[in-house]
Chains A and B, each alone.
Chain A
Amino acid sequence: MLIGRSDPERPCITICTGTGCVAGGAGDVVEAFRKVLADHGLSRRVEIRLTGCHGFCEMGPLVTLQPSETFYPKVRPKDAKRIIEQTVLNKEPIEELLYRDPSTHEPIEHEGDIPFYSHQHRIVLAENGRIDPTNLNDFLDIGGYLALQNVLATMSPADVIDDVSRSGLRGRGGAGFPAGPKWKIASEQPAACKYVVCNGDEGDPGAYMDRSVLEGNPHRVLEGMCIGAYAIGAQQGFIYVRHEYPLAVGRISRAVQDARRAGMLGERILGTDFSFDLKVVRGAGAFVCGEETALIASIEGRKGEPRQRPPYPAVSGYMGSPTVINNVETWANIPHIINNGPDWYASIGSEHSKGTKIFSLVGKVNCTGLVEVPMGTSIRSIVYDIGGGIPDQKALKAVQTGGPAGGCLPADQIDLPIDFEALREAGTIMGSGGLIVMDESTCMVDVARYFTGFLEEESCGKCYPCRKGTQRMRELLEDICEGRGTMEHLSLLDELGATVNTTSMCGLGQNAATPVLSTIRYFRDEYIAHIRDHCCPAGVCTELIRFEIMADLCDGCGACAKVCPAEAIFGEKNELHTIDPNLCIKCGTCKDVCTKDAVLVLSGGGHEH
C-alpha cells in the first residue's frame, strides 16, 4: 500500500532509478510513461514516483504500480502504453509482462510474492522502493525523523548509547566492532570538539549496498548520524562518499540541504539545545580509504594513508578530536533501533551477530541484486532460495565474501551460517557484504591473482609487508597461472601470506593474503593442476588453454573465421574449420559467435569447456 499519502487510492507508478536500472534504460522508461500519461491527460491523476534501488537489479528496469502492487520487471519504453491503459486504468495485470518464477514458470503479480523478495528480511532496504529520495515529505510520511524527535525529547545521551549497546548492533563496515561501546568511548572523552563520520567509501568491487542506501534513502542515514552525534556530543559530522558515485553524492547533498531547511540539521535542531551540522566530503578513489584512519586523513585533505592504532579514532580522530566512524548501513539501522527498541533488534540474527545484513549478491547467480537477511542465514539460502541458483545448469564452485581482502568458501561449506564469527573461523571475513558467486568456469588461482593484483594496486605503500608482500604474491600467482609454477611457489605463498596478514599495519594488509590463503586451503588441487599438469581445469588462464573446433559439431558456416582477429581459422564453406594454434591469440571471439557450440576450450590433458 501507499504509505501516508493523503489519498492512498491515487494511482502511482513507482519506477526504480537506482544505478542498475538506469544502466538498463530506466531513463527512457520514465520518459515513455510521462509521455503516455500526458497523451491521455492523466498527468494529474496518476503520480510517477522515481525511487531508489529496489535491489532486484537483474530484472531492471523495475516498475511497481500502486495501490495494486503489481510488479513488472525488465520494462521497456514501449510497454508504457499498455501498462497504463490496461493496469492503471482497467486494473488488470498484463500476464506476459509479469515476473515468472524461474522454476515453475508461473507468473507472479506482487513484488512481495517473488522468491527473491519473500525470503528476505528487509529493514534498511525496506523503504527504498517506497519513497522518492529527493522528497523529504515522502520520508516524513513513512515516519522519518520520528526517532530523532523521540531521542531529543525523551532520551539522554546515555540512554541512546545504552539502547544501541543493548541492541547488539555491530559495525557493518567489515570488522564488526560493536557500535554502542564505540560510542561510549567517544562520549567519555573530555574533548570540547567531537565528530561523527559516515563511511561511504564503498571501494569493494562488486559491492554496492551503501551506495543504494545513500541513493535511495539518504535521510535515514542523516537521521542515524544526528542521533549518534547527540549521543556522543558531536557538533559536526562528515559523510564521505566516493566521487565515482555521482548520483549518491547528489542525493545525499540534497538531503543535507533539505534537512537543514526543515530544521533537522543546523542550530537548535527541532527547537532543542542540540546543534549539529553535516558536510559531504567526496573521496577520490582509494580502496584503503575505507580504513578509518586513512579516511580521516582524506577528510583532512591529505593522502589516504592509515596510521598506527591505538589511539583509535573514538579517542583521537579528525583533527585529533574524538571521532565516531560508522558505515552507511550501520547509521541507517540506528533510527530503526530507536523506533522499535533494542530488544526487537536483538531478537533478529544469531547469537553474537544481531540484526540483518545487506549482501550484494553478484557473479554467476541467476538473480543478481541486493539481499537483506538476518545474520546467521546460510549461504545456501542466499544463493538458492533468494538468488535462484546458478545459471546455465552449472555447478556452484565457490562463494567469495568480504571483498578483495576476503576469502573464498567452497561449495561444500554453503550451509555455513553467515555471521562475523562463523566466517572468520572458515578463513574468510564478512567485510562490507560482497557475496560473489563462482561456478565451475571460474578459476580459483586466477581469482586469487585478480584480488592480489587489486590489493597490490590499492596498497598505500606505507608499510613494507603489504607493499612488497602483495607484489611478490601477485608475481608468484602469475607464475602459476602462466605455467611457470613449482611446488615451491605454493609453500612460498603460504609462508609469505601468513607474514603479510600478521605483520601489516592496517586492515587492508592484515587481510591482503586472505584470498590466497583461503583458495590454497580449499582449492589446493586446482593449484597443483596448474603447477604439475600445466592445466587450468576451469579453462580460464590464457597461457594454459587452447581452442579447438569439434569435427562432429562444426557445420562449416564460417562465422568464426570471419570474426577471428588473428586470421587463425581456416576451412572451406560447409567444411570443417580448424584453428592454427600458432596464430591463435586466444581471445575467445570464435567461441562467442559459434551457434553450434563447436568451439571447445581445452587445457592440459584435455579438460573441456
Chain B
Amino acid sequence: MRAATAPVREIALVDTPEILSSPVGRIIEEHHNDRNDLIAMLLDIQDAMGFLPRFAMEHVATSLEIPITEVYGIATFFKYFRLKPPGEHQCTVCTGTACHVRGAARVLREFERHLGIRSGEVTDDREYGLETVNCVGACALGPIVLLDGDYQGQVTASKVPTLLRRLKRSAEKKPVAARSEAAA
C-alpha cells in the first residue's frame, strides 16, 4: 500500500558537493519523479554508482515525498540492491540448481576460504568482493563463476587460486559483445 498518510521525515535537501556530483538528481528527473518508478530509479542509481549510498536513498525519498523507510524497504527487499560499495574486483558464484548439482557449493567454499570473506562481503582492502547469484542461465557451462562480469565455465575448487591470480593480473577486461549491446 502507498503510505500516503505516513508522516514524511523531513530531510533538508542540501546541495552538498556529494549530491551535486552524483547522477541521482538526473536519474530521478529521467523518471519524472514518479513514485511508481521507484524500483527503476534505484536500479539506475546502483548501475551508475555501484551501490545505493545512504544520501542517494534520502535524496530519492525527499524528492518523491515518501518516508525513507519505504525506499529502504525496497532496497533491502530485492536481491539486486547493494547498500555497501562492491569490491574493486567482483567474484560472483552462480549457485543455481544446475550449478549446485555440479558442485557449486564447493567452489563457493573455496572462494570464501581464499579471500577470507563470506558471500556478500568485501575484503578489508576493498580489492575483492564475493557474492552469489541464483542463476545466470548459462547452465551448460556450470559450475559458472563471473569474474568482473566475465563468464568462467566448468569451475572446480582446484581452479579457484588460478582464477583469482588471473583476475588480479587483468584488471582491464574487454567487454563481452552482448553486454555492450544491452547497455547501449
Contact = CB atoms under 8 A, between A and B. Distances in A.
A362 B97 contact: yes
A414 to B, nearest CB: 17
Contact of A23 (B97, B99, B153, B158): B153
A245 B43 CA distance: 13
Nearest to A457: B79
A237 B181 CA distance: 25
B137 A303 contact: no
A300 B140 CA distance: 35
Contacts of A206: 96-98, 135, 139
Contact of B140 (A282, A369, A447): A369
B2 to A, nearest CB: 8
A-side binding surface: helix, strand, loop or mixed?
mixed
A587 B113 contact: yes
Given A284-B80, A285-B80, A436-B97, A57 B134 contact: no
Nearest to B134: A205
A67 B78 CA distance: 47
A400 interface: yes
Contacts of B105: 450
B4 interface: no
Contacts of A24: 138, 140-141, 151, 153
Contact of A22 (B42, B74, B109, B176): B176
Nearest to B35: A301
Contact of A60 (B74, B95, B140): B140
B144 A23 contact: yes
Interface residues of A, number: 67
B110 interface: yes
A286 B1 CA distance: 18
Contact of A249 (B96, B177, B182): B182
B-side binding surface: helix, strand, loop or mixed?
helix
A263 interface: no
B147 interface: no
Interface in A263-292: 281-287
A243 B105 CA distance: 25
A244 B97 contact: no
Contacts of B135: 204-208
A203 B183 CA distance: 22
Contacts of B96: 205-206
A258 B142 CA distance: 35
B39 A284 contact: yes
Given A208-B139, A286-B78, A442-B101, A588 B157 contact: yes
Interface in B140-179: 140-142, 144, 151, 153, 156-158, 176-179
A592 B39 contact: no
Interface string B75-93: 0011111000000000000
Query: Interface size class for chain B?
Result: 35 or more
A203 to B, nearest CB: 7
Contacts of B49: none
Given A286-B79, A587-B109, A589-B158, A246 B138 contact: no
B139 A454 contact: no
A363 B144 contact: no
Contacts of B14: none
A360 interface: yes
Interface string A362-382: 111000110000000000000
A30 interface: yes
Contact of B156 (A246, A368, A565, A592): A592
A194 to B, nearest CB: 17
Interface of B: 1-2, 35-40, 42-43, 73-74, 77-81, 95-103, 105-106, 109-110, 113, 133-142, 144, 151, 153, 156-158, 176-179, 181-184
Interface of A: 17, 19-20, 22-24, 26-27, 30-31, 57-58, 60, 203-208, 211, 243-247, 249-251, 281-287, 298-304, 360, 362-364, 368-369, 400, 404, 434, 436, 438, 442, 447, 450-451, 454, 460, 563, 565, 585, 587-589, 592-593
Name the 7 nearest CB pairs between A and B, nearest first.
A205-B96, A284-B78, A208-B137, A250-B182, A27-B177, A285-B79, A23-B151
Given A22-B151, A24-B141, A369-B140, 15 more contacts: A17-B177, A58-B140, A204-B135, A206-B98, A243-B43, A249-B182, A283-B78, A284-B81, A299-B36, A363-B97, A364-B102, A368-B139, A400-B97, A436-B101, A438-B101
